[in-house]
Structures are given as structure tokens and as C-alpha cells.
Amino acid sequence: MHSRLEQYKPAVGKRVLILLSGLMWIGVGIMLLSLALHWLAAKGGMGAVALGTVGFLCSLVIHRYGFLKVVDKNLGRILPMQGKRCLFAFQSWKSYLIIGVMIGMGIGLRHSPIPKPYLAVLYIGIGMALFLSSLRYLRVFLKEADE
């Protein structure tokens, strides 16, 4: 019975897992950035520029001291893999739990009384950090093609 189920498992190589990780991080980063930029555009003026700048500076810190460690841990798990693995193995099971919590927190924040321009700082910080950190996935993906 187990072998019959195995034939339906979407199995891919580690290069695809690395690419999927990078694309997911880019996609979520762009989504968060687009929400934040929409909120700041509605505010307008120098206040919006200042909030956007603070968000960008936060993103550099989050990228360097937070997300790059997560990327390196994921790559350390994916790169030694041999053969084909389940398509969903591009994240560890713990990461899927964290993603669920983050989605819930994001929904809660969007529906909270916090003014959207201030919330944009957090969204820019996380969104841009995700985008910047995804570049490491893409660099490793391209490097793996050369080997």
C-alpha cells in the first residue's frame, strides 16, 4: 500500500527545492511590500517617506541578523539531500508551523486598530528582508547548476 501512495508524491530534486524556497520568499516579500507601499501612498508626504526609510533600515537588520540564519539553516538541510524529495520539503515542518503563526499574526495586525502607515514599517522591514534573503537561495540555485 505504501508503495502505491509513493507514486503520487510530488518528488523533485534539491535544485527545485532551493528554487521554490527562493520564489516563496520573494513572493511573500513582494506581497508585504505592496501592502506597505499602498498604505504609505495613501498617507503621502514626508511622513510616508520617513516611515518607509525606517522600514527599509529595519529590513537590513532583519535580513542580516535574522533571515540569513534561517536561509543558511534551510540550505544546510537541503544541500546534502540525495535523490528526489517531496516538493513540500523546501521548508522544514517547524517552518510550516512558524509560517502558520506568522500568517495569523499578519491577519490580526491588518485588522487591528494600529494605523496602517505605522504597520507599513513592520511590513517593509519583513518584506524587504525576505526579498533580500531570497537572493541567497537564488545564488545557490544558480551555483548548483554549474556543478
Tens of pLDDT, residues 25-67:
999 999 999 999 999 999 889 999 999 999 999 999 999 999 9
Mean pLDDT of 13-29: 95
Residue 6 lies in a domain: no
**Residue 86: which H helix or E strand, with range?**
strand 85-86
Domain that holds residue 139: 12-146
Which range among 5-14, 86-95, 98-107 has the greatest average pLDDT? 98-107
pLDDT reading at 2 higher than 80: no
Residue 139 lies in a domain: yes
Q: How many domains does the chain have?
A: 1
Residue 32 lies in a domain: yes
**Residue 143: which H helix or E strand, with range?**
helix 116-146
pTM: 0.89
Residue 5 lies in a domain: no
Q: What angle do CA 86, 63, 144 make, to 5 degrees?
A: 40
Residues 19 and 140 sit within 8 Å (Cβ to Cβ)? no
Residue 91 lies in a domain: yes
Residue 58 lies in a domain: yes
**Percent of the chain topping pLDDT 70:** 95
Half-sphere exposure of 142 (CA within 13 A, CB side): 5
Residue 76 lies in a domain: yes
Residues 74 and 92 sit within 8 Å (Cβ to Cβ)? yes
Which of 68, 53, 54 is CA-nearest to residue 131? 68
Residue 20 lies in a domain: yes
CA atoms of 122 and 105, how far apart (whole Å):
12
